[in-house]
Structure 1
Amino acid sequence: MAEQTARRDETRTPAHRWRRLAIEVLLLLVGAVLFFRVHHLVGTDLARATQNAEHLMSLERAVGLDIELGANRWLAGQPVLVAASVLYYRLYYVPLAGVLVWLLLPRADTYRVLRVTILVVAVLALLCYWLLPMSPPRFAMPGIVDIVAENDPVAGEGTRDLASGENHFSAFPSMHVGWSSVAAYLVWFTLRREHPRAAWLAWLFPAGMVVVVIVTGNHYVLEVVGTAVVLTLALVVTRPWARTTSTADARDGGRRADGAAAR
C-alpha cells in the first residue's frame, strides 16, 4: 500500500500540477464566458421586469423597507462618496479575481473543493434571472439618480442603453453582492481554522457592496435579502459535498505524508 501511495505521489510532478492548474483556469474562464452569455439571453422581458419591480416596491412599502430613494438622494449630494461608490461597484471583480488566483496557485486543493459552490451559485442566479426578471430602481423607481451611469468614466450612459445587447433586468439576485459574498466565503472557508479573525474580516467586502448597490440605485433592499437566501441555498446544497471532499483530501494528504516518511 505504501509503495502504491509513493508511486501516486511521484506522478504529482511540477509539470503535472501545472497541467491541472491550467485545466482549472481554462474551466473557470469557459464557465465565466458561458455565465455572461446566458445572462444576456434570459430575463429580458421589459413588461415582466417592470411588473415584478412594482410588486417588489409595493411589498417594501408595506413592510417599511423602501429606503432606496432616500439613500440614493443622500449619496447624490456627496461627490467624494459618489466617486468611491462607483469605483467600488465597478471594480468588485478585482477582489474576486484576486481570491481565485490566491486559491488556484498555492491552494488548488481547496479551490477544487469549493468550485462546485461557485457552479451552483451561478446556476441558481441564472435560473432566477429567467424566472423572475426584475427592473432595477434606476429604471423603475421615479426620482432615483442613476449614479453609476452619470459618473462612470468608462461605460457612462451606455449602461442605460436597452438596445446594447446586455441584460438590464437581472436585478434579482444582485450578483455584485452575490459574487462579493462568494469571494468572502472562499476566504473564510480557507482561513477559518488557521486565521479565524482574518477569515471574518473578509465579510466586510460584501457588506460594503450591500450598501453600494442600494445607494447607487441598482438594487432593492429585498433583492439583497433574496440574494442572501439564494447564496444560503447554494451553501446548504454544496456544504456536505465540500466537507466530504475536504475530509477525503486530508486523508489522502496524510497517506502521502506517511508514504514519503516510509521512503
Structure 2
Amino acid sequence: MSRRRTIAEVLGLLAWFGVFAWLHSLVGRAHLAATANASTLQSIERALHLDIVLPVNQWLAGHVGLAQAAAWFYRAYYLVVAGVLIWVFRRDVAVYRRVRRAMILMMVLVLPVYWAVPMSPPRFALPGTVDIVALYGIVGHASRAGGWTAMPSMHVGWSLWCAFAVWTALRVTHPRAALLAWTFPLLMVAVVIATANHYVLDIVGSVLLVSTAITLTAFLPWPGSAHPPAERPDSSHSPSG
C-alpha cells in the first residue's frame, strides 16, 4: 500500500472511530430504561444460575493488588486494539482489510442494540458491588462514561476481534501462536465480570455480535478478488475465518 493510501487509511479510521464514539454517546442516555433492563437481566441470570458477578466482584475487591491490575487491564485494552491493527496492517494488507471489515461491521451492528436495549452495568444496578475501575483505574471515576450501554460488552467484543485478527493472520503459518491469541478475550471476560462492568449475558451478547460481524464479512469478496474467500482457488492456503 502506498504512503498516500496509508495516510488515507489512518485518517479514515480515526474519523470513523470519532463518529462511533459520538453516536455511542448519544445512545447511552436512557438511564431509567437501562436500570429497568438491568433488573430484568439480573432476574434472568438468577433463574439460569448465572448470577456470579456480585461474589466474584466482592472477592476481587478484597485483593487490592489484583483489583489494581484488573482496572489497568480494563483500561489499557485500547492499546492492544491499536497494536493489533498496526501489526496486521504491516504483516498482510489483504488480511488487514478483511479484519477491518469485521471490525467496522461490529461497530455498526452494536449501535442499534445499544439504542434498543440500554443496559445499566452491575456497578450501577447491582447493590453491593464495588466499582473497581473507578477506584483503581487510570482515570478514576471517568469509568461512568458510557455507563448505560453494557449489553453487549464491547470490551469483550474488541478483545474477541483482536483474537480473531491475530488468529486469521497466523493460523496457517503459526497455528500454536494463533491459538494463544484467544487468551486475551478469556482474560477480558474475567476482568469485566470481576470489576462489575458486565453481566454474564453481556458476554454472550458480545460473542453473538462478533460472530455475526465475522459471518457477514465472509460473504464479502476477498480483497483483490471478484469472489468471496470460499470461492478462491487457493482458499485452502489463505487466512480465513
Establish whether TM, by shorter chain, passes 0.5: yes
Confirm or deny: 8 A CA contact 2:94 2:223 kept in the other structure: no
| Alpha-carbon distance between aligned partners in 2 of 1:171 and 1:202, rounded to the nearest angstrom | 24
State the number of aligned residues.
Answer: 231
Number of the residue aligned with 2:141: 157
Q: Note if 1:89 corresponds to 2:54.
A: no
After the TM superposition, which residues 97-246 of structure 1 pair with which residues of structure 2 at under 5 Å, given as runs? 97-152=82-137, 154-160=138-144, 166-241=145-220, 244-245=222-223
Gaps of 5+ in 2: 235-241
| Alpha-carbon distance between aligned partners in 2 of 1:246 and 1:235, rounded to the nearest angstrom | 18
| Alpha-carbon distance between aligned partners in 1 of 2:224 and 2:80, rounded to the nearest angstrom | 24
RMSD: 2.1
Confirm or deny: 8 A CA contact 1:49 1:134 kept in the other structure: yes
Indicate which of 39, 43, 68 corresponds to 1:54. Answer: 39
Q: TM-score, normalised by structure 1?
A: 0.83
Q: CA deviation at 1:109?
A: 2.5
Structure with bigger gyration radius? 1
| Alpha-carbon distance between aligned partners in 1 of 2:149 and 2:117, rounded to the nearest angstrom | 8
| Alpha-carbon distance between aligned partners in 2 of 1:35 and 1:195, rounded to the nearest angstrom | 34
Amino acid at match of 2:208: V
After the TM superposition, which residues 14-53 of structure 1 pair with which residues of structure 2 at under 5 Å, given as runs? 17-53=2-38
Amino acid at match of 2:140: G
Runs (4+) off by over 6 Å: none
Confirm or deny: 8 A CA contact 1:21 1:104 kept in the other structure: no
Amino acid at match of 1:80: G
Amino acid at match of 1:190: A
Secondary structure at the counterpart of residue 4 of structure 2: helix
Distance of aligned partners of 1:77 and 1:246 in 2 relative to their CA distance in 1, 3 Å threshold:
farther
Among all aligned residue pairs of Structure 1 and Structure 2, give the percentage whose two residues are the same amino acid: 46
| Alpha-carbon distance between aligned partners in 2 of 1:106 and 1:21, rounded to the nearest angstrom | 14
1:99-120 CA-to-partner distances (Å, cap 9, x unmatched) read 1111223422321222211111
Number of the residue aligned with 1:3: none
